[in-house]
């Protein structure tokens, strides 16, 4: 296989946070690793603010710290989250989730996605490995138990013992590997922007399921929140086209003045909502991590954490095999990884989809059911404890 243009032990496709963290996890090994990314090296080195705030759990923070990325993120960009409130319609009742007082630890820490990417990129660039092949996409992939061969858009061919797809929930590499996926295009988009506001958020996030819209208010600094508005895609596009003054007026009306007077603190961004679940998380000499394997609905803010844990699980298995002189693409090892990810992620993935279905329905029965469900959960400490444990792991 080494008669091809370049030969590697592992080729990672996609240099998003999960792909970069996977490459960083392997950096201290003797394995030869390449990362293929369609964006330019300049764009990776200067990740623009994209509106997305990632709620990192303590487990994800430990992974980033182990990789040397956590301390690279400026302290000013880390916003502790000490509680969450879930509201339904015009009701004043709120389901409450609070960090345990005894521990003194927050439920999570909000960090802009661009700063996580930037920190991981810096970690990867500090070492000799991996090789970054930027400005290229994968146009062909063939795999067998003997290894993988991928062809890039410039015609270069790479051979590898293992190819790992980490190139988004609509992963072209997953398709090239012949792995199907359940893809649910929800017909809604998330419109995101930062706002400064009069009201105090007390480092508490609010998730508000109102009629024909969902609003999330995430505390990202004193007097500032990230506002996430989920709407039918056509409606989101309409609001995106408003000038700033008209947009703020619309936003204030939709939030019913909950944050007081607001002013824009960032550009606006929209993202179509799509969930995915790959039918398999592996193929001969190939594996999927991050959104290429599982694309979560953002309502639970947990998709990134699942992606980060998936790369760690696979990287640890590969490093163990390498240290003991075993095959880093051993089918039994990949099967164990797939089984772990399926068992680990399925409960939250399916529970999230059920939650989205219940809270996006405008049927009177659904409205009553979600109001009753919130009250039941508030008065059932075990339920809230289980949900909190799922969100923090």
Q: What domains lie within the chain, and their CATH numbers?
A: 6-74+112-183+274-356 (3.50.50.60), 82-107+186-273+361-392 (3.30.9.10)
C-alpha triplet 286, 291, 297: angle, nearest 5°: 150
Contact predicate 237/189, CB 8 Å = yes
Contact predicate 225/198, CB 8 Å = no
The radius of gyration of the chain from alpha carbons, rounded to an integer in Å, stands at: 22
- Helix segments in the chain, DSSP class H: 17-25, 41-45, 58-66, 113-126, 172-176, 233-240, 244-254, 303-323, 331-360, 364-378, 381-392
- Banded pLDDT at 259 (limits 50, 70, 90): confident
Three-class SS state of 221: strand
> What pLDDT is attached to residue 212?
81
Take residue 181 and report the two structure tokens written for it: 């996926």
CA dist list (Å): 152 to 35, 157, 175, 191: 12, 6, 15, 34
DSSP secondary structure letters along 133-144: EES--EEEEEEE
Report pTM: 0.89
Contact predicate 14/165, CB 8 Å = yes
Residues 294-343: tens digit of each pLDDT: 999 887 668 899 999 999 999 999 999 999 999 999 999 999 999 999 99
- Cβ-based neighbour number of residue 67 at 10 Å: 22
> What pLDDT is attached to residue 390?
46
């Amino acid at each position: 296989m080494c008669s091809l243009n370049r030969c590697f032990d592992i080729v990672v496709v996609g240099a998003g946070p999960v792909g970069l963290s996977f490459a960083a996890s392997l950096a201290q090994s003797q394995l030869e690793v390449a990362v293929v990314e369609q964006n330019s090296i300049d764009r990776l080195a200067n990740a623009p603010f994209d509106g997305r705030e990632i709620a990192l759990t303590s487990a994800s923070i430990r992974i980033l710290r182990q990789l040397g990325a956590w301390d690279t993120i400026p302290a000013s960009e880390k916003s502790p989250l000490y509680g969450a409130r879930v509201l339904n319609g015009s009701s004043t009742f709120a389901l409450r989730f609070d960090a345990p007082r005894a521990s003194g630890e927050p439920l999570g820490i909000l960090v802009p996605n661009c700063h996580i990417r930037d920190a991981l990129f810096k970690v990867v660039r500090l070492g000799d490995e991996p090789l970054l092949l930027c400005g290229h996409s994968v146009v062909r992939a063939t795999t067998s138990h003997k290894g993988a061969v991928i062809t890039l858009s410039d015609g270069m061919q790479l051979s590898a013992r293992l190819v790992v797809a980490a190139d988004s929930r609509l992963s072209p590499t997953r398709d090239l590997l012949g792995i199907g996926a359940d893809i649910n295009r929800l017909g809604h988009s998330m419109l995101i922007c930062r706002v400064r506001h009069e009201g105090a958020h007390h480092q508490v996030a609010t998730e508000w399921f109102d009629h024909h819209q969902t609003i999330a208010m995430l505390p990202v600094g004193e007097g500032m929140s990230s506002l996430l508005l989920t709407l039918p895609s056509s409606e989101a596009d309409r609001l995106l086209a408003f000038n700033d003054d008209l947009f703020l007026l619309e936003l204030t009306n939709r939030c019913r003045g909950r944050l007081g007077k607001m002013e824009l603190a960032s550009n606006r961004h929209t993202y179509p909502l799509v969930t995915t679940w790959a039918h398999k998380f592996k193929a001969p000499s190939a594996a999927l991590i991050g959104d290429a394997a599982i694309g979560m609905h953002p309502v639970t803010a947990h998709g990134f954490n699942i992606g980060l844990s998936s790369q760690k699980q696979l990287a640890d298995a590969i490093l163990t095999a390498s240290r003991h002189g075993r095959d880093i693409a051993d089918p039994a090892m990949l099967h164990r990884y797939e089984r772990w990810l399926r068992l680990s992620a399925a409960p939250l993935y399916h529970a999230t989809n059920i939650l989205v279905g219940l809270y996006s329905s405008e049927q009177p029965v659904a409205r009553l059911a979600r109001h009753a469900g919130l009250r039941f959960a508030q008065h059932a400490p075990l339920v809230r404890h289980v949900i909190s444990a799922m969100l923090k792991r």
